[in-house]
Structure 1
Amino acid sequence: MSTSVVLGRLGVLSKTVLGRDSQPGSVDGYLALLAPAVEGDTNLLWLSHAAIAAVFPRHDEFERFRRDQALNGALPALAALVAAAKRPFAPNRGVGIRIATDTIVVDVHHTARTGLATGIQRVVRQTILQWQGRAEVELVGWDANFTGLRHLSAPERQNALHGSVPRITRPRDWVLTIPFGTTYILPELALERGRTDRISCLAEFSGNRTTVIGFDCVPLTSSETVGAGMSAAFANNLAGLAHFDRISTISGAAATEYRGWRQMLSGAGITGPEIEPLLLPSVAEDVSAADFELARTRLLTGDDPLVVCVGSHEPRKNHLAVLYAAERLWREGVRFQLVFIGGNGWNGDAFRRQLERLQGEGRPVKAISAVSDSLLWSAYRLSYVTVFPSLNEGFGLPVGESLSAGTPVVTSDFGSMKEIASGGGAIFVDPRDDDDVYRGMRAGLTDPELHARLSAEAAALPARGWSEYADALWQYFVPTSQPV
């Protein structure tokens, strides 16, 4: 690495630490100025480590540096960092740095690069769309090796906001963005080990305010319903959050789970973050007349009532119970058509086999994976009733979305699903009892008075949009700010 790169990093670091431009002209001159200023200051030591190495440190790396500083003094410890950064195979040898002190750094790495539109991505995108008008917001992601944050490229930003430019080539030239004295917001789920290690160190030692949206603890509380390795990856995520300042969970049920985890942290002498629930909004989106008619053509066959089940085909979503109840109702002569909307999740082979068997027998059932927002919202409005008997959810977006569209829902009698639908419009069932799922679907399809009452209840529910949610979240994460 050239001396000019080192001098550039030291110049940026010196300006932040000393509050002025300093140009001593040599590495030794910069280190002589910086050493007394950072001596014994953990936050400034973290900043110095990240700035000189152009890599966010992991816990073990930072502890070695901090001990070196305590034992031998700041000057030799900083000099050792410079020497390590100059080694031929040091990471990010040619990468410059910038220190972000006047922006709120929002880490949307996965959302910016994925083509998925899961519940988490929908929450992230709707939230940052509301925040994009705030001048202080900076959307960031990580480099290819998860060594640090960087400003998003224009296509990545577009994908983060709208999901319209997936599979983006990473920019070759990038600058490490180091938050300092500001707020770091993580609105998505971070599972990558390198990423969570460095986030954990940032939260504990950098002095930044660290905040995150907590979706659920399903990989731990219902580990039998998730794919192999997910529970271990989620444990890494929780380890990364242990020193955060605040978690805003998407429901009271999710807050209960996260508070149980925080209580366990006391055994390791860790206080853990403040945890408060902020229920996600549920507002039906408008659909054009043309899109609605296209959806009708795609979703409906004949005039029988439509039942829609939204969610990926994984065990936790309980779609086999829905198929069982549907088959039983069809055999009894109850007329309706069933559409599943969602991608193929983990361990969905049994669902696909049952679906194909029923289709082979001529039953009116189908599954659609890739859908637009207009098709999804048309499906909610075209449905006579929706069904969502999940075994565990941090929120359960399809419940709130169905009710916001004025359509009754059959859903689980506990957790966030009952929390969302407590105001009316729902038939509650025990999702672990096939007969009860059958009972709920049968009532929704065959009792017109019940259906009319539930539809009226759903239509009367108060509307709360994403702008209200995003503003409340901002106030919780950045409490000194003012609403726009």
Structure 2
Amino acid sequence: MIPGVQAETVVAALAQRLEVAAQHLGCGDAPLGPPAERAVSLIDAITPVLPVRPGPEMWLFLVAVLGRLPVATEVEAAARVLELEGAVALTTHVLELARQDPSSIRADLEMDVVTDRVVISADYCAREDNHTGVQRVTRALAQRWHNEHGAVAVADIDERTGFRNLAPAEESRVYRYGQDPALAPTSGTTYERRLVVPFRTTVVFPEVVHWDSSPVNLCLSAYSGNTTCAIGYDTIPILSSSLRPHGEAGVFTRYLSVVKHTTRVAAISQSAANEFQGFVDMLAAQGLPGPEVRAIPLATEIDGHAQVTPTRSSTERPLVVVPGRLEAHKNVLTAVQAAHRLWQEGLDFEVLLLGGAGVGQEAVFDAVTAIQAEGLPIERLGWVSDDVMWQAFTDAALIVFISLHEGYGLPLVEAMSCGAPVLTSNIGSQAEIARDGGCLTVDPRSLTSVADGMRELITRPELRAELTAQIAQRPVRGWDDYAADVWDFVVAPATGVRA
């Protein structure tokens, strides 16, 4: 039994879930009577109509009985029991399954089955106020799809074994980030937490799903009858595992176990598409077709960003802004070391680092501290608000973003949206962005190449002016365009209708 939950609540919720499941499985009208009697009658009505195979019907039945999403082995085992031993044995098997693993079950929750709307998994965006790359993409899609198509965003239940509806504050974070005033403390008091169960509809994973939810999401992709799709950002934890935390590659493979059963992956750049297509090509060894992969580049505009007035004059020494978390693959240390080399040459400029902590931060901290001890103008702000970042980009003479591996590189296009020329990497997605102008590219693995590029931009204002002029000629792609393109790729084919 769930601590603090009455047995009557659990039985009533079980009866409600079975009633909803029966409706979607075509079992006729719900019986009358007390919840316990209804639950028994509904199980007796459902089990004889279940196909003898692991598929959507068995998956939904298990959801209704267990109060959570099942994993693939549970669906497969239940189908075998039904085939070999019959409906009565299946009932006993499923109830025993619930008894053996009560910790993952929310048997007290009633459920809503969604069949006619797209379901968006937005757990992190619902829970957290962080608004960097993945969150910008997730919220851009959720806001537009919710308003234009009635799509519904969901979060994970705390046990990571199913989806739930969003609380009012979470709806604000997902659908109206930065638009709502602070919600009153009492705004969530009427919130009733419910399981949200997509069934034979489209489920989109615009976030990298939480590692603990991967088993149930794998099963959802394989057996639920839903069309599942994902946004493909990068495979950095695998291809650049030496630059990432120990163990992250193993965690990421759990996410890939979900991706391999999806139908479509909308990659955020051609570089990212190449990475995911390589993964898909390997699935032939398992006899799996894998998802269709297509490159759908992100927007080049800043969503909801108003114009910012520069606060620095052209006569001041150049401001070099280095955006990015202090992760090893972001290569911030190389930018700092290149700046130090140029200061030793006698150049006059200042450096501002924007970005939170990450793997490799200690080396950056030590380098910045040593440079500051020499009296040189370098400052590290850590995480900053969007407004502070837009102001820094607007005031900057140049931006340095020289990542060693990037799925797209939103800071590049966001900086150029503020009119700042960019020094960036000549590899991968950053090179893709740079081809449209506004950027000078360098080899991010060469300190000399990076220092030479910085020197060019710091000492040649005419080059900066040339790149700034190129920015005005770059093709403009809005978040509305991105959201529409992703919808047409991942959702419209499932419905046969171009929205």
Q: Kindly indicate whether the alpha-carbon contact (under 8 Å) linking 1:216 and 1:393 is maintained by their aligned counterparts in 2.
A: yes
Give a deviation string over 1:343-384, Cα, whole Å, max 9, x none. Answer: 011221010010011111111111112322222112212111
Shift of 1:130: 2.0
1:106 aligns with 2:120: yes
Superposed, which structure 2 residues align to 1:233-272 within 5 Å?
A: 233-272=251-290
Match of 1:240, SS state, is helix
Superposed, which structure 2 residues align to 1:106-255 within 5 Å?
A: 106-161=120-175, 162=177, 174-193=193-212, 195-255=213-273
Aligned to 1:430: 443
What is the letter of the counterpart of residue 399 of structure 1?
L
CA distance in 2, matches of 1:7, 1:51: 9
**Among 65, 69, 73, the residue aligned to 1:56:** 69
Aligned to 1:10: 18
CA distance in 1, matches of 2:399, 2:319: 8
Match of 1:92, SS state, is coil
**Among 13, 22, 27, the residue aligned to 2:30:** 22
CA 1:250–1:19 in 2, change beyond 3 Å: closer, same or farther? farther
Aligned to 1:371: 384
CA distance in 1, matches of 2:139, 2:363: 32
Match of 1:134, SS state, is helix
TM-score by length of 2: 0.89
Aligned to 2:463: 450
Aligned to 1:34: 46
Superposed, which structure 2 residues align to 1:343-362 within 5 Å?
A: 343-362=356-375
Match of 1:410, SS state, is strand
CA 1:398–1:436 in 2, change beyond 3 Å: closer, same or farther? same
CA distance in 1, matches of 2:224, 2:309: 51
Q: Kindly indicate whether the alpha-carbon contact (under 8 Å) linking 1:68 and 1:77 is maintained by their aligned counterparts in 2.
A: yes
Shift of 1:127: 2.3
Q: Kindly indicate whether the alpha-carbon contact (under 8 Å) linking 1:325 and 1:438 is maintained by their aligned counterparts in 2.
A: yes
Match of 1:18, SS state, is coil
CA distance in 1, matches of 2:352, 2:332: 11
CA 1:212–1:307 in 2, change beyond 3 Å: closer, same or farther? same
Give a deviation string over 1:2-28, Cα, whole Å, max 9, x none. Answer: 443332222111111117433265444
Q: Tell which deviates more after alignment, 454-463 or 247-256.
A: 454-463
What is the letter of the counterpart of residue 363 of structure 2?
A
Q: Kindly indicate whether the alpha-carbon contact (under 8 Å) linking 2:65 and 2:94 is maintained by their aligned counterparts in 1.
A: yes
What is the letter of the counterpart of residue 448 of structure 1?
P
CA distance in 2, matches of 1:470, 1:307: 33
1:67 aligns with 2:80: yes
Give a deviation string over 1:177-233, Cα, whole Å, max 9, x none. Answer: 11101111111111322x001000010001101011111000001011111221111
Q: Kindly indicate whether the alpha-carbon contact (under 8 Å) linking 1:404 and 1:461 is maintained by their aligned counterparts in 2.
A: no
CA distance in 1, matches of 2:306, 2:118: 36
What is the letter of the counterpart of residue 475 of structure 1?
D
Q: Please give the root-mean-square deviation of Cα atoms over the aligned residues, in Å.
A: 2.6
**Runs (5+) with no aligned partner, structure 1:** none
Give a deviation string over 1:270-298, Cα, whole Å, max 9, x none. Answer: 21111111000111467668x747xx48x
**Runs (5+) with no aligned partner, structure 2:** 1-6
CA distance in 1, matches of 2:413, 2:49: 53
Shift of 1:51: 1.4
Q: Kindly indicate whether the alpha-carbon contact (under 8 Å) linking 2:409 and 2:430 is maintained by their aligned counterparts in 1.
A: yes
TM-score by length of 1: 0.92
Q: Kindly indicate whether the alpha-carbon contact (under 8 Å) linking 2:326 and 2:355 is maintained by their aligned counterparts in 1.
A: yes
Shift of 1:102: 2.0
